[in-house]
A and B are shown apart, each in its own frame.
Chain A
Amino acid sequence: MSAAADTALLDPMLPAPWRVRAVRRETADVATLDLVPLVGEVPRFAPGQFNMIYAYGIGEVPISVSGDPADPTQITHTVRAVGAVSRAIADAAPGSVLGLRGPFGSAWPVAAAAGHDLLIIAGGLGLAPLRPAIYQALAASEHFGRIAILYGGRAPAELLFRDELAAWGARAGITVAVTVDHADPTWHGHVGVVPALIDEISFTPANTVALLCGPEVMLRFTAAALEGAGVAAERIYLSMERNMKCAIGLCGHCQFGADFVCRDGPVLRYDRIAPRLMVREI
């Protein structure tokens, strides 16, 4: 077993040092970092899981893994600079060292969705936590019915992974549809909200598993649109975001009703949490 995995199992509160191998600037404020452990091997992770990333001396934030689960050489994270910690991580230079704890949390049920149509629906930065699920599904695409990736962003310049979206959409049997909230006339794609894309693709609602990640408002509207189209709530999965601190269900900061998002989530089944999504106090 790797030293990094030992760390997660034996002392999940102790960050292990990882070196930034490479950095890719995705947009003006989003960067993707490839990380390698200074000690031991890269731990396995399941799509949907997250690590706690520590910018030494500044602080720690939960960030979902955005890389390929089949890649044993590194862990990849995509980070948006919104506060002091995430800015320090997004600005980390190749060669610098960050602390990592994890991986933690529940996973997208990609393997269990075999035999179904698979809808992967992302909003904004939500494409990053879904990208490992996309890699996993596309690596075994023959096991699924139709696979559709629907992605909504603020504007064309803020879309993530545009080259990969084009490559995925060029594959036989894979539908990729992208929409933005507003654009200039050089954009010839969709303009509108993500749920509108659901009406434009072919799938069999009664035999569909849907994976959703994005801002909570977008999740609510999209899950409701899927239900309206005939997808059962128990086959809709959402990745939730809450104030995760310890990442192991001890501190209670991320409590969401009966669940701790860090331990029971971040991937949660819609039928279990739908009523709570309407409770503003939690």
Chain B
Amino acid sequence: METLEHLLLAHPFFAGVDPAFGPLLAGCARNLRFAPGAYLFREGEAADEFYLIREGRVALELHAPARSPIVIASLGGGEMVGASWLAPPYRWGFDARATADTRAFGLDAKCLRGKCDADPHLGYEMMRRILPVMVRRMQAARRQMLDVYGHPSA
């Protein structure tokens, strides 16, 4: 039977990570399942756990008064959900809602922040994985802002 540690290290987010970090990472992780419609987190809540999707789909939503909620991105298997756990004040800036039956690893953010502070090698391994995701998402968000499929100016 595969342990949580094996399954966690097999997630694409941890591809190539030093297996020596396995027990340390697994010590902060748990298995989770979200039914369609269930929220992983909501805007303003404490960002005390982030997620690595194994299967399923998660929509990131923004709510504004007197408007329909807007889905700004959706994430599938292999993706990381949530970055607000990395920077003060550690509060989510949007909602994350499962739009399909979703299985994910939840990682205790406070636990992992503590371990990263205590072990800079682990901290660097985490940053090497998180930074490319953030750059890719920032570039994608900027391209979405271009509204390239809108009406060209006449």
Partners in one complex: yes
Chain A residues in the interface with B (C-beta under 8 A): 29, 82-83, 123-125, 152-154, 158, 179, 181-185, 187-193, 195-196, 200, 214-215, 217-218, 221
Of the candidates B100, B150, B152, which one forms a contact with A188 in the assembled complex, judged by CB atoms under 8 Å apart?
B100
Question: Contact: A184 with B69, CB < 8 Å?
Answer: yes
Question: Contact: B70 with A182, CB < 8 Å?
Answer: yes
Closest to A81 in B: B151
Question: Contact: A215 with B71, CB < 8 Å?
Answer: no
B22 on interface, CB distance cutoff 8 Å: no
Note all chain B residues with C-beta closer than 8 A to A124. 148-149
Closest to A124 in B: B149
Among the stretches B3-11, B72-80, B82-90, the one at the interface with A is B72-80
Q: Which residues of chain B in 34-93 are interfacial with respect to chain A, using CB atoms and an 8 Å cutoff? A: 36, 57, 59-61, 68-74, 76
Question: Contact: B147 with A154, CB < 8 Å?
Answer: yes
Question: Contact: A158 with B149, CB < 8 Å?
Answer: yes
CB distance from B86 to the nearest CB of A (A): 21
Closest to A185 in B: B69
Note all chain A residues with C-beta closer than 8 A to B68. 184-185
B144 on interface, CB distance cutoff 8 Å: yes
Count of chain B residues with a beta carbon within 8 Å of a chain A beta carbon: 27
CB distance from B39 to the nearest CB of A (A): 11
Question: Contact: A200 with B149, CB < 8 Å?
Answer: no
Closest to A188 in B: B99
B15 on interface, CB distance cutoff 8 Å: no
Question: Contact: A123 with B74, CB < 8 Å?
Answer: no
In the bound complex, what is the Cα–Cα distance between A29 and B150 (angstroms)? 11
B128 on interface, CB distance cutoff 8 Å: no
Note all chain B residues with C-beta closer than 8 A to A193. 140, 143-144
B118 on interface, CB distance cutoff 8 Å: no
Q: Which of A154, A193, A195 has the most CB of B within 10 A?
A: A193
In the bound complex, what is the Cα–Cα distance between A251 and B82 (angstroms)? 54
B146 on interface, CB distance cutoff 8 Å: yes
Known: A123-B148, A182-B70, A188-B59. 19 other contacts (CB 8 A): A83-B154, A123-B149, A124-B148, A125-B149, A153-B149, A154-B150, A181-B149, A182-B71, A185-B61, A185-B97, A188-B57, A192-B73, A192-B74, A193-B140, A193-B143, A193-B144, A195-B140, A214-B149, A217-B143
In the bound complex, what is the Cα–Cα distance between A279 and B5 (angstroms)? 50
Question: Contact: B146 with A200, CB < 8 Å?
Answer: no
Q: Which of B68, B97, B144 has the most CB of A within 10 A?
A: B144
Known: A82-B154, A83-B154, A185-B97. A191 touches B74 (CB 8 A): yes
Question: Contact: B72 with A217, CB < 8 Å?
Answer: no
In the bound complex, what is the Cα–Cα distance between A218 and B100 (angstroms)? 28
